[in-house]
Amino acid sequence: MGIDANIHHSSVLELRLSRPEKKNALTLEMYSTLIAQLEWATKTDTIQAVCLSGEGDSFCAGNDIADFLTRAQDPDTLGVIVQFLHTLIDFPKPLLAAVQGDAVGIGATMLLHCDLVIAASDLSCRLPFTRLGLVPEGGSSLLLPQILGHRVAFELLVEGKPFDATCAQRLGLVNQIVTPELLHKSTLERAISIAQLPPEATRLSKRLLKAHQQEQLHAVIDQEARQFAARLSSPEAQAAFMAFLQAG
């Protein structure tokens, strides 16, 4: 199914993207599984933190374009992705990510909704939305300008300028950089440490940190999704998708 779920120390749920042959590109089934697992973690009292990770040498290459295009005319296609993003935003417990190699498109924008991001030194992020004839998603059109300012956000979201782990940390998008060999261990240690904090105080603190823009963020994600859906059938996007698929 592309998602491996494991529980560590009875309190940390690790959700590992597991399609290494496709650099963990996301299919609709994977989105559905992630939603179900996050909903389960929300209502399971023993789970105090969740860690997102990726199998192999990359975290996530974004959407599986071939899978995405075969279902693009189905109105439920974008709906599942948008539901996943809303679920991330509303997830009440600490959410961590261990990221390495490629983090592309939604593989990068989902990190904006994590509470802590630990990166391997080989991380390479790209947000190639306009190059694919599309628009930003995942709430990035709101969050990146807030975090980075308009001009830097424009470089990343419109020009699609790639950025590495050092740049991501300097910009405030990554908390810590470790070697690829230590990434999994370091992130789980951090998650287990957080899971040992008083759980109600931890959840209330996270809620206070996020509550001031929760409603706005939900609205922006819906607005992005409407424009994204409209762009999918545009000549620019269709040409970009065909070029991508032909390149293999």
Number of H helices, E strands in the chain: 11, 9
Looking at the domain 3-182, which fold is it? 2-enoyl-CoA Hydratase; Chain A, domain 1 (3.90.226)
pTM here? Answer: 0.96
Q: Tokens 């439920």 map to which residue?
A: 76
> What average pLDDT score do residues 91-119 get?
99
Those residues with Cβ within 8 angstroms of residue 120's Cβ, 6 or more apart along the chain or in another chain: 98, 99, 100, 101, 165, 177, 178, 179, 180, 183
- Mean pLDDT (the chain) is 95
What pLDDT is stored for residue 73 in this prediction? 66
pLDDT digits 0-9 by tens, 46-88: 999 999 999 999 999 999 988 877 776 676 778 999 999 999 9
Domain boundaries, the chain: 3-182
**Is 55 in a helix, a strand, or coil?**
coil
pLDDT for 96 beyond 80: yes
